[in-house]
Amino acid sequence: MSGRSDEAGRVRSAMGPRVWAVALNTFREAVRNRVLYVLALFAVGLMAFSVVLGELSMHEEIRVIKDLGLFGISFVGVVIALFLGVNLLSKELDRKTVYFVIPKPLRRFEFLLGKYLGQVLTLTVLVTLMAAILAIFVLVQGGSHGVVMVRAEVLVLVELCLLTAVAMLFSSFSSPYLSAMFTGALWVIGRNRAELLAFATGKKLGGTPLGTVLEACADVVPDFHALYVSGSQLPGGDTVVSVHESFVSWGYVAEASLYGLLYAAACLVGAMVLFARRDLV
């Protein structure tokens, strides 16, 4: 009995280095991907363009730069998370490298977890770099980046982590094209969850079978809108929150981040179960 417990302890202690090795390898592969640099340059170009638009506005240079800069970080991050997330597993299957990795001491769930952590590391580095560039643009124009923008950027990063987990869930059993379609559709619905819920409970559909189905869908889909709140009105709130005026507190950021990470964890567990049952032969 003691021998079995010692062996299990050695397996658990070796799991961390194995997962971290896969994560680092995934990060290195992502860094070598030229598409990421093109998208990152697009975000920087959008920030530079916001400076031009700011000069044309009536003393609203900082507001324009922050709005377009935050949009650029979110948009580019979503494209990268979607592009990489649906290809993390399919690329390994197409190149047949997974057939050599899985039979090793590395187990399937460790492989998938390492891939996800590598993607999260990549997104964290990219969001941090783009946020730093945005801060430079704001400072050059005489403004202040401020802690409010940091809160918004943290929420964007959590949204990307959740989107990656959703993409991996679909890619664990589907093709890259279908995974991209499903993930993209779920992101669009999640970003407009409040509108979907209002439509389902409105005068026309409230209490009807279709309204009940739509309301159930709104309750199940991930609430991506809760992680990108600048320029919108929160449920139960009377005013629009903005990175320029009254924004959400650190308490809201913590609560929304906990929701996003728990939902991502549930998607990862589902992906691990499905990937474990997938026939790799």
- Quote the pLDDT of residue 254: 96
- Quote the pLDDT of residue 238: 66
Q: How far is CA 274 from CA 64, 135, 137, 265, in A?
A: 45, 42, 45, 14
Most confident by average pLDDT, 104-108, 157-161, 227-231: 157-161
pTM of the model: 0.87
84 pLDDT band, cuts 50/70/90, is: confident
Q: In this structure, are residues 110 and 21 in contact, taking their beta carbons and an 8 Å threshold?
A: no
Helices (H), 141-249: 146-171, 176-191, 193-200, 209-220
Q: How far is CA 120 from CA 12, 42, 129, in A?
A: 22, 21, 14
- The total number of residues shown for the chain amounts to 281
Tell me the per-residue pLDDT of 163-176, one tens digit each, with 9 for 90 and over: 999 999 998 888 88
Instruction: Taking residues 220-239, report their average pLDDT.
Output: 82
* Cα–Cα distance, 82 to 69 (Å, whole number): 20
Arithmetic mean of pLDDT over the chain? 83
Give the residue extent of every domain in the chain: 2-179+247-277
- Quote the pLDDT of residue 92: 65
**Of 20-24, 79-83, 231-235, which range is least confident?**
231-235
pLDDT at 280 over 70: no
More confident residue, 174 or 149: 149
Percent of the chain with pLDDT over 70: 84
Tell me the per-residue pLDDT of 94-142, one tens digit each, with 9 for 90 and over: 665 555 555 456 677 888 899 999 999 999 999 999 999 999 988 988 8
